Structure 1
Amino acid sequence: MNWLQNESTIGVLYILAFAMFIYGLMGLTGPRTAVRGNWIAAAGMGLAVLATLLTPGMGNWPLIALGVGIGVLVGVPAARKVKMTAMPQMVALFNGVGGGAVALIAWVEFRTTEGYAEEPRYVALASLFAAIVGSISFWGSNVAFGKLQELISGRPITLGRIQQPVNLLLLLIAIACAAAVAAGVHSEPLMIVLLLAAAVLGVMVVLPIGGADMPVVISLLNALTGLSAAAMGLALDNTALIVAGMIVGASGSILTNLMAKAMNRSIPAIVAGGFGGTTAVASGRSAEDRPVRSTSAADTAIQMAYAAKVVVVPGYGMAVAQAQHAVREMAELLEGKGIGVAYAIHPVAGRMPGHMNVLLAEADVPYAQLKEMDEINSEFAQTDVALVIGANDVTNPAAETDPGSPIYGMPILKVNHSRSVIVLKRGMSSGFAGIDNDLFYDAKTSMLFGDAKSSVGDIVEELKNL
């Protein structure tokens, strides 16, 4: 048993774990390798946990076993039972738990070291940084979960003009407490005030952010959790935490930047809040004054059956209706008639990065048919029918034509360039941005109202009869 607790053995286990983290992450770049990548990364985490538990001096095994048991009993059923439509909420919640754990570890370290009295300065600074960022991430992620789960309004909840001054004050309080502790003031109330100020700041930062920005917020909070974990690893001299935290922090930061660019938004503007919550109507006209043209499943099927190319544009409405399998069946029928089918994927369609890719991969849609926004936009002019299923803001032409629109400048899928557009939607409600969609009133657009899964199922039956 002694050889297992040897430093060299533990070091080798950590190296293997890090290699598996990176190799697993590489597997997540495509749907064919994503499941395998997840398993490899999970196995790597198992090795890292084992190496940590083998570290000499690790004790209180009953408490460790209890914690692992609780985690398994909560995590496994939650992951197995969660619906694909609720996956963003689960990601936000589980990510927040990581940040909360880091904040609690920082507090425990403060108490067990008597306020970092005998610790090097870098340990105190890293631990305090982890406490602030971890607390912000935990409470911010909980608010994001509440908004996505519709326990809290998805619209911005703000204090108005004093919002940013209040946020700045909370940040300064947390930093001041951290500075005092690092300077040698061994006061536990100071640490508690630090954690509470950071907690309220996390809530206050996410509450004013509207639903349209939630994919970016989830990614940003994920990056913050990774950075806090890396900082805590530095304080604890735990290599696994440092490497895993930096991987999560770096990948989350890159993804956040890509998502923000996809929305033509700056990250500071997103954190400042206010987007995704207006109730203004694009182009200044009320929906009641703008007629729409409705269609039927039979007419939709006929129109697509005589097309040469059909592009399916999925959105959150498809996820809610769980219509991806019906969409796949419809596409196979069209392909059997010699019609080209592609899927237009906007980077922020849905409620989390890659939401549409995951849903379509679940339905075994060929990966080659999934076209990213930059690739598919040039093809819409040669598209006979664009079938929009539950997508809203990401197809709104106001982003290009209305300087007064909250989404003006956001890159969109240019479905309005197609020869005809059919929108599957329950009603005329707005998307996350809270604004009317000009696409619905375009002369070449027809609306097929109803549940997406039922509507696509009706189309499938009509196609079978043609």
Structure 2
Amino acid sequence: MLSQGFVSAAAIAASVLFVLSLGGLSNQEKAKRAVWYGIVGMAVAVFFTAFGPGIGAYWLMIPMVIVGAVVGAYVAKKVEMTEMPQLVAALHSFVGLAAVFVAWSADLERRRVLAARALDAGAEQFSAFAALVATKAPDELMFLQIEVVLGVFIGAVTFTGSVIAFGKLAGKVDGKPKQLPGGHLLNAGAAALSLLLAILYLNGAGFWTLLLIAALAFFIGYHLIMGIGGADMPVVVSMLNSYSGWAAAAIGFTLSNDLLIVTGALVGSSGAILSYIMCKAMNRNFVNVILGGFGGTQGPAAEIEGEQVAIDAGGVASALNDADSVIIVPGYGMAVAQAQNAVSELVRKLRSAGKEVRFGIHPVAGRLPGHMNVLLAEARVPYDIVLEMDEINDDFASTDVVIVIGSNDIVNPAAQEDPNSPIAGMPVLKVWEAKQVFVCKRGQGTGYSGIENPLFFKENTRMFYGDARQSIDSLLSQID
């Protein structure tokens, strides 16, 4: 059994590693090292927590850790990068459910301590956590109850919200916003009733109040995310990441675990900041997004004129061979088709021919923040030619060819031209200003968010239909 001093020192070390990990993930060149910081920090945290003072039942803990490690390794090897967004959402749900169970257990132990005190029972009858509770004064027990309520409520919202987000990202739940009759009033009513039950609980009501709070919070999480449209799902993922962090922090306060408090606060605050940054990049109101205020139509959409004109691989290759400057705009379609390696090879051939090739990355491209950057880094695309929207948006007008691979909303001119569009006001990549635009797309559908794109009907746009990887592969042999 390790002393508390060792555990406290390990908590500080792990916290520093987590901070370094978060800081490094903002830069592609440092990302791999940052991931290792996080891995080492988590290993230190788990080891010193497991063997710290007051911890026992290793006969149960060790097998569970082994089972979890085996399952985690299996999932990590099986899950493709295209499935990473839904995996992240699923993992958030585990954190939320864990918070609910820990909070329930904490309250049961609190009640046990109070009953034992009433009977003058000895401390030797207490579990490790109950012994910790037994040292608390009455006012500290009140704070414990507040922590329990927060853990149950935030954890339950995170759980069902993450499950629905997983379903939408995996295509198992319709991506269009849907709410029950009453809409936001149902969420507000459930939140108000939860607050009333919390007050009753803090004033001595039974365990049933926590069960009802959990049930109401489960409903809020479900109904909240169901009401958010596909166009806002990247923000939803980072928002749920924040929720899971605050749920973990609540668990940390309940268990008096400083490391869990620090880690949860880091995840919660970074997730909230990322959500705000993404909302700003999408010209969204943060409060409206998290309340499901976007994703539906704002009025009659502008009528689109023209037709979608298809082109074959030969036509695209000819334009690329004649071009001096090329910008590639990747989206989730590239991830689905796993076309990143073919795109990387195309870039290599074009650059070898002396052409200027760059990538334009929208902040919410894909279904997870940084999704496209990770895919391109995995395919060994040079970091210096991968540019963010603000860095490259003014260059489209002087670009010969733009290739859009599986993107819809982030290159949709309706965001600037149609005030009734669901994405009106959202900053987008102005690809239509280039001399020629080729859109790699499976078919004529409206994409995940269900929003029509006038770009596909413009005179300088040609539709390069087919699977993105096969389409790009068909170009490789025709590039001079």
- Shorter-chain TM range is over 0.9
Q: Does 1:261 align with 2:280?
A: yes
Which consecutive residues of structure 1, in runs of 5 or more, have no partner in the other structure?
Answer: none
Residues 133, 224 of structure 1: 8 Å contact kept: yes
Q: Does 1:366 align with 2:385?
A: no
What corresponds to 1:65 in structure 2?
Answer: 62
- SS in structure 2 at match of 1:388: strand
- Write the mapping of 1:154-233 to structure 2, written as runs, cut at 5 A: 154-160=175-181, 162-185=182-205, 187-233=206-252
Residues 155, 209 of structure 1: 8 Å contact kept: yes
What corresponds to 2:367 in structure 1?
Answer: 351
**Residue 116 of structure 1, CA deviation:** 8.2
CA distance in structure 1 between the partners assigned to 2:366 and 2:232 by the alignment: 11
- SS in structure 2 at match of 1:113: helix
Once the two structures are superposed, residues 293-326 of structure 1 have per-residue CA deviations (whole angstroms, 9 ceiling, x without a partner) of 2211111111111111100000111111111100
Deviating above 6 A after TM superposition, structure 1's stretches of 4 or more consecutive aligned residues are none
**Residue 428 of structure 1, CA deviation:** 1.3
CA distance in structure 2 between the partners assigned to 1:108 and 1:203 by the alignment: 24
What corresponds to 2:120 in structure 1?
Answer: none
CA distance in structure 1 between the partners assigned to 2:245 and 2:298 by the alignment: 35
Match of 2:352 among 336, 339, 342: 336
Q: Does 1:382 align with 2:398?
A: yes
Give the 3 Å change call, closer, same or farther, for CA 292–281 of structure 1 in structure 2: farther
Match of 2:425 among 409, 420, 426: 409
Give the AA of the match of 2:180: L
Match of 2:150 among 129, 144, 147: 129
CA distance in structure 1 between the partners assigned to 2:192 and 2:81 by the alignment: 39
Match of 2:24 among 27, 30, 34: 27
Give the AA of the match of 2:190: L
How many residues align structurally?
456
- SS in structure 2 at match of 1:364: coil
CA distance in structure 2 between the partners assigned to 1:457 and 1:356 by the alignment: 19
Give the AA of the match of 1:226: G
Normalised by the length of structure 2, the TM-score is: 0.92
CA distance in structure 2 between the partners assigned to 1:115 and 1:409 by the alignment: 56
> How much is the aligned-residue C-alpha RMSD, in angstroms?
1.7
What corresponds to 1:396 in structure 2?
Answer: 412
- Write the mapping of 1:227-306 to structure 2, written as runs, cut at 5 A: 227-273=246-292, 275-278=294-297, 282-285=301-304, 290-306=306-322
**Residue 115 of structure 1, CA deviation:** 8.0
Give the 3 Å change call, closer, same or farther, for CA 69–416 of structure 1 in structure 2: same
- SS in structure 1 at match of 2:183: helix
Give the AA of the match of 1:430: T
Once the two structures are superposed, residues 330-350 of structure 1 have per-residue CA deviations (whole angstroms, 9 ceiling, x without a partner) of 111110111000000001111
CA distance in structure 2 between the partners assigned to 1:448 and 1:58 by the alignment: 61
Give the 3 Å change call, closer, same or farther, for CA 380–281 of structure 1 in structure 2: farther
Match of 2:170 among 149, 174, 185: 149
CA distance in structure 2 between the partners assigned to 1:65 and 1:277 by the alignment: 48
- SS in structure 2 at match of 1:427: coil
Give the 3 Å change call, closer, same or farther, for CA 237–95 of structure 1 in structure 2: same
Which consecutive residues of structure 2, in runs of 5 or more, have no partner in the other structure?
Answer: 115-137
Give the 3 Å change call, closer, same or farther, for CA 375–177 of structure 1 in structure 2: same
CA distance in structure 2 between the partners assigned to 1:304 and 1:282 by the alignment: 34
